[in-house]
Structure 1
Amino acid sequence: MIKNIIFDFGDIFINLDKEGTYKAMAKLGVTEISNEMVEIYHQYEKGFISSDEFIDFYKQKFPAIDSKDLVDAWNAVLLDFPERRLKFLKELSNSKKYNLFLLSNTNDLHISWIQENWGMDLYSEFKNCFSKFYLSHEINFRKPDLDIYQFVLTENNLVAKETLFVDDLKVNTDAAKTLGINVWNLIPGEEDVVELFTKKHI
């Protein structure tokens, strides 16, 4: 029996344009993503470097690009938050049938944009639906590394077989599955989190 549900954030609740940042950076003249840039991104997502250090890295590599344009390009991945998903989440939370968790690979610039774009009232309303709200840059882990899933299980005394993990990336759900966690690899554009029960994922 499922007692706990761990949700991803991007393309589960908030819609994403996964190519948005690449397209925006290309318009600024950055057309190739180096291994160093990927590593800095992962370090930032784990909270090992600050937003200022992250921006400075790009400013040193591309001094002609304005800092605000860099931040805007970085946040171009973020889109809208459909009202139906908040309604579904609030009803699920209010039912008290499951322990709800959020587990997201994200960073300070993205969360700051969301807080400003949504407004703090909506952001708090969303966050308060969860027992725990885990953002990778705050806990120094990122998916699909196994230690992030083990961290959530251990900290909350969760039994893997009683837990469902919902994420749009197969690499993330595959990793969780190796620990015995039940998974739903949700396909954006074909499935929606509001179909959790109608599609018999629980």
Structure 2
Amino acid sequence: MIEGIRHIVFDLGNVLLNIDPPRTETAFKELIPDTEAFMQRVQSEDLFRRMECGAYTPAEFTDRIRHHAGIPLHDEQIHAAWNALLLDFPLRRLQILQQLSLYHDLVLLSNTNEIHEAAFNATLQREHGMPNLGVFFDRVYYSHRVGLRKPDTAIYQLVLDECGFDPAKTLFIDDLKENIAAAESLGIRGIWLEPGMTIEEHIFLPKQ
């Protein structure tokens, strides 16, 4: 840990929650015959980023997916493919949050969306009996709820302002280097969780 830290801001995917984005790509390929054309149409609309910024409701999102796919798809099929990347919450990571909360302010800051939020909270309830991630944090910031997403510096500034954090005493942990760089541009201290690293094996180690 870095000395002088009072506040810790955590990313979600690949920091607390294991994810595997290619699983969603594979799931859509199994649903949609012309996946390449589908993805081009989705990207031209910037659909996924706009979903993460709260521009669409889940119903509007599934309608846009059906439109771009050009074939009839049930909501359940789209949700299953969209959520396929979400895996599990290792127990040790949740225990680390509980331990850190005794001595630090904890905030969750994630680029996500309403469909994923419902899915990963259901996983948390099923695996660990916790209703949502808010039980581990003082504040939770989801991109689709605040209309901003990383690495836009405005979302980090929002956290600092609303929580009253001194950036020099704030640590941000994320698995994307560009997100860390954006936070550090505001004076926040960052740890980039590089591929293969985990918080339980490389950052918050048990005292010997």
Q: How does 1:75-114 map to 2 (within 5 A)?
A: 75-93=83-101, 95=102, 97-114=103-120
Structure 1 segments of 4+ aligned residues over 3 angstroms from their partners: 35-38
TM-score, normalized by length of structure 2? 0.87
Q: How does 1:29-178 map to 2 (within 5 A)?
A: 29=32, 30-32=34-36, 33-34=39-40, 36-37=42-43, 39-62=46-69, 63-93=71-101, 95=102, 97-119=103-125, 121-124=129-132, 126-178=133-185
Distance 2:170 2:125 in 1: 31
**Residues 130-154 of structure 1 deviation map (CA, whole Å, 9 limit, x = unaligned):** 1101111111111111110111011
CA RMSD of aligned residues (A): 1.9
Distance 1:35 1:70 in 2: 16
Q: Per the alignment, in what secondary structure is the counterpart of residue 114 of structure 1?
A: helix
Contact preservation (8 Å) 2:96, 2:204: no
| Residue 88 (structure 1) shift | 1.2
Contact preservation (8 Å) 1:59, 1:67: no
Decide which moves more: 39-48 or 143-152.
39-48
Q: Per the alignment, in what secondary structure is the counterpart of residue 60 of structure 1?
A: helix
Aligned length: 195
Distance 1:123 1:15 in 2: 18
Percent identity over paired residues: 36
Q: Per the alignment, in what secondary structure is the counterpart of residue 14 of structure 2?
A: coil
Distance 2:62 2:117 in 1: 16
TM-score, normalized by length of structure 1? 0.89
Letter in 2 for 1:18: P
Distance 1:42 1:35 in 2: 13
Decide which moves more: 108-117 or 58-67.
58-67
Unmatched 5+ residue regions in structure 2?
Answer: none
Distance 1:115 1:99 in 2: 21
| Residue 35 (structure 1) shift | 6.4
Unmatched 5+ residue regions in structure 1?
Answer: none
